[in-house]
Amino acid sequence: MKSETMLALYRSMLRIRRVQERIESLYLQDAMKTPVHLCIGQEAIAAGICLALEPDDSIQSNHRGHGHYLAKGGDLKAMIAELHCKATGCSGGFGGSMHLVDVAAGHLGSSSIVGGGIPIGTGIGLAMRMRRTSQVSVVFFGDGAADEGVLYESLNFAMLKRLSVIFVLEDNRWAVCSPRDSRQTGDNVFLRGADPDRLFTARLDGNDAEIVHETARAAVARGRSGAGPSLLVCDTYRIMGHAGCKAQEPSGYRDACEIDAWSDKCPVALYRAKLASRGILDEPTEAAMEATIAAEITEAFDFAAQSPLPHDGDLHKHLFSE
């Protein structure tokens, strides 16, 4: 992997982390009129997958989708304005944190419906096939969404039609307050019975950005060739609670030792150390990166604060496509 690619991976993860931290630090001021689901601890997946995509490839995201939006090139100012429910938001201020979209960047939408993006992303893959393009459709979802039957229906259809869809399961082990082991048997229920010719599958360390990126590149190449879909199961962990900021997380449902153990596997910190040991990332480079990101985030929050609220008369617009 080229040093430029490594630095791009690190910068993408660092930017996602710093945006999440700023949201977390300001959330209790109540200027952001939306629930938020932070992805601190899961940055390597969004960064690694999206760096393997072209601008005209598409992604479908979910309620924990800030990282996907940013990694795919979504407009930061429009995202922060959307969290403030302002008219300049990427969904006009009507969607909030869970309904981000940036069509120009290939982010075709996120949804608050758990598993809702899975069939949509599969349908987008079908449209790509019917239009005879070489584009790839990526769907991000969590292990809670993997409990739903729509995943199996969508995988079956994608295999049947050999669609260029990449299903990315971000297995962070918790569905709200429900541990994975209380909902699923074994650790490979998603892979059982799939014909390897019809479905490329891989279970990987979702906190290692390079592993994620290299595996994504293989899946993208498979999709573009017309060979069919892929299912990437990425092991990771959400350091924060299910929703809101740290002060709002209910206590008692997770073992503190588990959180500490996964905090030690922080994808941003581990990759920073790896790049430093290789001589690719030095202190001046990182300081410049941090300063640029901080200025960009401040500008985005200022933009959101100064933006107007949506007009009452627009409330019923954009509900249908004619």
Q: How far is CA 244 from CA 27, 143, 289, in A?
A: 8, 20, 27
Measured CA to CA, the distance from residue 111 to residue 246 in angstroms comes to 23
pLDDT tens across the length of the chain (322 residues): 999 999 999 999 999 999 999 999 999 999 998 999 999 999 999 999 999 999 999 999 999 999 999 999 999 999 999 999 999 999 999 999 999 999 999 999 999 999 999 999 999 999 999 999 999 999 999 999 988 889 999 999 999 999 999 999 999 988 888 888 888 776 665 566 678 889 999 999 999 999 999 999 999 999 999 999 999 999 999 999 999 888 888 888 999 999 999 999 999 999 999 999 999 999 999 999 999 999 999 999 999 999 999 998 888 887 787 6
| Residue 313 CB neighbour total at 10 angstroms | 7
Angle between helix 209-225 and 267-277 (nearest 10)? 100
Amino acid at 150: V
Residues 28-56 as b/e (b if ≥16 CB within 10 A, e otherwise) read eeeebebebbbbbbbbbbbbbbbbbbeee
H/E run at residue 230: strand 230-235
Amino acid at 282: D
Return phi, psi of residue 241, to 5°: -75, -175
For 85, the token pair is: 């429910």
Measured CA to CA, the distance from residue 294 to residue 299 in angstroms comes to 9
> What does pTM read for this prediction?
0.95
Class of residue 218 by CB neighbours under 10 A (exposed 0-12, middle 13-18, buried 19+): middle
- Polymer length in residues for the chain: 322
Angle between helix 43-50 and 3-26 (nearest 10)? 140
For 179, the token pair is: 């541990």
| Residue 187 CB neighbour total at 10 angstroms | 13
H/E run at residue 200: strand 200-205
The sign of the torsion formed by the CA atoms of 126, 127, 133, 138 equals negative
pLDDT of residue 54: 97
Q: Strand, helix or coil at 161?
A: helix
pLDDT of residue 192: 60
H/E run at residue 122: helix 117-130
